[in-house]
Structure 1
Amino acid sequence: MKDDDTKAKLVRYEFDPTNPPPLTDEQRERLRALDAMKDEDIDFSDIPPLTEDFWKNAVRGKFYRPVKKQVTVRLDADVLEYFKTKQDGKRGYQTAINAALRKVFEEEMRKAG
């Protein structure tokens, strides 16, 4: 099969999670049946057990991407210069500032928690 043939058969769909297509009657019925099911009636036999080895190399938050929000903030000049110098004057100093604030934030949350 040629590349041109493959490209001609590709179908692309776009999905807007803020405006999903309406559910069909069949989909609504399946959801009602699942909602009515008791937890003990759920068949987990096709799910492999998760052992300690599975979690050994897990990294908390690896796939978590918090939403960024643009703000204006005033920083002491020496603090800003520190972060800019740390990045060799390159882009990324804002990310470094965010990482430092996140570290403090997470520590405070641990103490409160």
Structure 2
Amino acid sequence: MKNTNEKLAEEIRAFKNTDFSDNPELTAAQLAQLKPSHRRPQNMVNMDNYKPIKKGVYVRIDADVLEWLKGSGEGYQTRLNSILRQAMAENV
């Protein structure tokens, strides 16, 4: 059985031998259109590799807004973050 280092070394060797000739280089115009990953829309299919840095903050929110967020069950802070992220993405 291979240990973790041996598996990693095999993956690196396999990657180094990968033929990327069918992938064209991006033009300057295409590169200019790229956006930082934190601005990706929430509905993207593969967000598994994206882990934003979380920071604790104290925010004062109107009571009715807080009740509305909590009314959908657990995860109101995550929902609030999603709403703010969507607003951020729309204002880019």
Cα distance change on mapping 1:101 and 1:73 into 2, 3 Å:
same
Q: Which has the larger radius of gyration?
A: 1
**Secondary structure at 2:60 match in 1:** coil
Residue from 85, 88, 92 that aligns with 1:102: 85
Q: After TM superposition, give the deviation of residue 61 of structure 1 in Å.
A: 6.6
Residue from 66, 79, 92 that aligns with 2:75: 92
State percent identity of aligned pairs. 40
- C-alpha distance after superposition, 1:1-38 (max 9, x if no partner): xxxxx7xx9678xxxxxxxxxxxxxxxxxxxxxxxxxx
RMSD: 3.3
Distance across 1 between alignment mates of 2:72 and 2:59: 19
TM-score, length-scaled by structure 1 = 0.43
The corresponding residue for 1:76 is: 62
Distance across 1 between alignment mates of 2:18 and 2:46: 28
Q: Which runs of 5+ in 2 are unaligned?
A: 6-16, 24-43
- C-alpha distance after superposition, 1:75-106 (max 9, x if no partner): 0000000010022xxx3100000000110011
Matched residues, number: 61
Q: After TM superposition, give the deviation of residue 48 of structure 1 in Å.
A: 6.0
Q: Which runs of 5+ in 1 are unaligned?
A: 1-5, 13-43, 51-58
Which segments of structure 1 move beyond 4 Å, counting only runs of 4 or more?
9-12
